[in-house]
Amino acid sequence: MISERERVQALLDQALAEARSQGAGRITALHFIVYSPFRETEARLRSMLQELTAQTLAENAQIVTRPGPNRFICYRCCALRFESEDEAAVCPNCGHTATLIPSDITCALDHIETAESDEGQD
């Protein structure tokens, strides 16, 4: 079982690898998609990142989050999976109420913003 902290570390590693592959000097912003419960998850994410980004290219990066959509699966038709912003959703294929998939992923890396070096910081 991977802890949330390990997952966040893995997302950060992914961001750092991407920044290095771009030849960036630092990461200026980290954009995350956060799944419900949004506020709780976001608070934990921010506190973990504050610690994990220390002395990395992502130190002092702005952390930008947006809520992810809820994911649903329909068991009536061919187990169609779809996403919706709503708490409850109807299958777009057969019209039956779909089942919310409990999210084991609490957050995901959306994209990063980088800069060439420490210079030019606002």
Q: Which residues bind Zn ion (CB under 5 A)?
A: 74, 76-77, 91, 93-94
Write down the least CB distance from residue 110 to Zn ion, Å.
28
With beta carbons less than 8 A apart as the criterion, state whether 5 and 48 touch: yes
If the CB atoms of residues 51 and 87 are measured against Zn ion, the closer one turns out to be 87
If the CB atoms of residues 65 and 84 are measured against Zn ion, the closer one turns out to be 84
With beta carbons less than 8 A apart as the criterion, state whether 2 and 37 touch: no
- Tell me which amino acid residue 91 is: C
How far is 97 from 73, CA to CA, in rounded Å? 9
If the CB atoms of residues 14 and 97 are measured against Zn ion, the closer one turns out to be 97
How far is 104 from 71, CA to CA, in rounded Å? 11
If the CB atoms of residues 47 and 97 are measured against Zn ion, the closer one turns out to be 97
With beta carbons less than 8 A apart as the criterion, state whether 23 and 57 touch: no
Write down the least CB distance from residue 91 to Zn ion, Å.
3
Write down the least CB distance from residue 89 to Zn ion, Å.
11
Write down the least CB distance from residue 96 to Zn ion, Å.
5
DSSP 3: -
